Copies of this chain bind each other. A is one copy, B any other.
Amino acid sequence: MDANAKKTALRMVPYGLFILTGKTSDGRVAAATVNWVTQASFEPPLVVVGVKADSSAHGIIKDARAFALNVLGKGQQSVAFTFFKPTSVEGDTMSGERFRAGATGAPILESTPAFVECRLVDTIEKGDHSIFVGQVVEAGVAREPVGRPDDATLWLRELGEKTFYGG
């Protein structure tokens, strides 16, 4: 296999940006920027997220058996960069971003336009990232998109001309 061809072909997959969050029953909190996300079923509504196997979010979400995907909106580049770094919780803020507890306990960020919350229903651990399969159990829209919903989302390409996560 030609490594450059693999990289180019895989980088042709377009991605949005999301803050993946979770909280265990003993109070450990995860928040990490992710882009490897797809829906995977309508009924039941399933989503798939690729999560770095050696990240703290990975262990926390496995323990919590639940997660939220907070959808970043256009212009929220700074929030994406914030959650590339380790998270610190102070009261009702995480790394300076206000949040509330969702139905699953996962933090819901107040600045993001929409979220889904999921029960973790399956996990495939075969690589440097694991595949988390979530069944959507709650959802909210704080700011209704004008026009197409996918146009309102912050896209990976908007983090910088040379920024990729994939390939």
Contact = CB atoms under 8 A, between A and B. Distances in A.
Given A39-B166, A40-B131, A50-B39, A14 B14 contact: yes
A91 to B, nearest CB: 26
Interface residues of A, number: 63
Interface stretch (A19-27, A55-63, A92-100, A150-158): A150-158
How many copies of this chain does one complex carry? 2
A133 B124 contact: yes
Interface of A: 1-2, 4-6, 8-16, 36-48, 50, 71, 113-116, 121-122, 124, 126-131, 133, 136-141, 144-145, 148-153, 155-157, 161, 166-167
Given A115-B9, A116-B6, A38 B36 contact: yes
